[in-house]
Amino acid sequence: MFHKSHPQWYPARQSIRLDPKGKSLKDEDVLQHLPVGTTATFYFRDLGAQISWVTVFLTEYTGPLVIYLLFYFRVPFIYAPKYDFTTSKHWVVHLACMCHSFHYVKRLLETLFVHRFSHGTMPLRNIFKNCTYYWGFAAWMAYYINHPLYTPPTYGEQQIRLALIIFLFCQIGNFSIHIALRNLRPPGSKTRKIPYPTKNPFTWIFLLVSCPNYTYELGSWLGFTLMTQCLPVAFFTLVGFMQMTVWAKGKHRSYLKEFRDYPPLRSPILPFIL
């Protein structure tokens, strides 16, 4: 309705509140149930240009998938010309490519078929920020892993095998958590419930952690770091961990605020530690 009189402010960018300093009203709020009298005053705030979460996720995840492959196939102008379109002689490099690609394909499929988003949109400027982060780091890591002068891990096959086990375990774990979270929420709804362990052993970590999806994500990248023994990958893991910790702490605090009976044993991201 507001959109009709002000066409440039489509619903996703409207923030309507009853009090200028209060919280925004939700999409589901009904006028009859709001604490107003015979006349109501609403305050409008422009949230800025918006873009859907799905669009952002698809863009930010497709980038690393494609960019890594450019380096893997040694497309011209990256390395010295004599290496154009050659392949690495180290089998771990091929394995790393498979793992990295699998990781991002999984993320894309989850975005399309698994996740149920609370908010439809986010501010437009986020896509530039997020893509710079994902695409930039992907290029930086891929450059070294696929470099003609790449050095395989010090402890060879043992190290790579252990790393692969950790990586796969955490990928399955991460997926299990995403499914469990999806099942908390009926299709099309935005309800929030406390997540609990299910029959799937990978979800038993909910006993100790509020955001095990982040825990498993950290584990996956630690596995990938071990597999490639590449310092830029370690940096990426560290930065990602820092950001996920911030998110986990926020989510944990929201859970505590919203649910009186929230299990006290849980930590945000690392059991007992963080």
Applying CB under 8 A, which residues contact another protein? 144-145, 147, 149-151, 154, 228-232, 253
Closest CB to another protein among residues 151, 183: 151
In the chain, the N- to C-terminal Cα span, in Å, equals 46
Phi/psi region, residue 51 (left: phi>0; alpha: psi -120 to 50; beta: rest), is beta
Side-chain-facing half-sphere of 210: CA atoms under 13 Å = 26
> Helices 125-145 and 91-113, interaxial angle, to 10°?
160
Q: How far is the CB of 149 from another protein (least distance, A)?
A: 4
Closest CB to another protein among residues 13, 249: 249
Q: How far is the CB of 141 from another protein (least distance, A)?
A: 9
Closest CB to another protein among residues 141, 164: 141
Closest CB to another protein among residues 90, 182: 90
Closest CB to another protein among residues 78, 184: 78
Angle at 263 between CA 260 and CA 265, to 5 degrees: 140
Q: How far is the CB of 142 from another protein (least distance, A)?
A: 11
Cβ atoms of 172 and 217 within 8 Å: the answer is no
Phi/psi region, residue 156 (left: phi>0; alpha: psi -120 to 50; beta: rest), is left
Closest CB to another protein among residues 22, 37: 22
Q: How far is the CB of 38 from another protein (least distance, A)?
A: 31
Q: How far is the CB of 234 from another protein (least distance, A)?
A: 8
Q: How far is the CB of 148 from another protein (least distance, A)?
A: 9
Closest CB to another protein among residues 229, 237: 229
Closest CB to another protein among residues 64, 152: 152
Q: How far is the CB of 154 from another protein (least distance, A)?
A: 6
Q: How far is the CB of 31 from another protein (least distance, A)?
A: 26
| Dist. CA 221–CA 171, nearest whole Å | 10
- Spell out the long-range contacts of 130-135 with Cβ–Cβ below 8 A and sequence spacing 24 or more: 130/56, 130/60, 131/59, 131/60, 131/63, 133/60, 134/60, 134/61, 134/63, 134/64, 135/60, 135/63, 135/64, 135/67
Burial of residue 167, with CB atoms counted within 10 A of its CB: 0-12 exposed, 13-18 middle, 19 or more buried: buried
